[in-house]
Amino acid sequence: LPASIHAFRNLRRLNFSHNAACTMPWGWMVDNLPLLVELDVSHNNIAADAGVQELSRLTYLRKLDVSHNPIVPFQLRLERNCL
């Protein structure tokens, strides 16, 4: 993500769907988007759930959409091709 996104600390909704992303900077989101209420990362290529638990620190988060991603346990991620 670009450094300029730091200007969006008051961001409430983030739609990052349909981007073919393999991973997401979950920890970064928690640290830099503390007021996030809705996060949509659907229709990507996120194959591992490692780090997602960090989102529990987002106290305002009410809606999380991870649908249409090939999410599997982190241990199996090494067997997938994720560029």
Q: How far is CA 82 from CA 8, 30, 43, 56, 61, in A?
A: 28, 23, 15, 25, 27
Whole-structure pTM value:
0.78
Tell me the per-residue pLDDT of 16-58, one tens digit each, with 9 for 90 and over.
999 999 989 999 899 999 999 999 999 999 987 778 888 999 9
Q: Are 30 and 54 in contact (CB under 8 A)?
A: yes
Q: How far is CA 75 from CA 4, 22, 23, 38, 72, in A?
A: 33, 15, 15, 28, 8
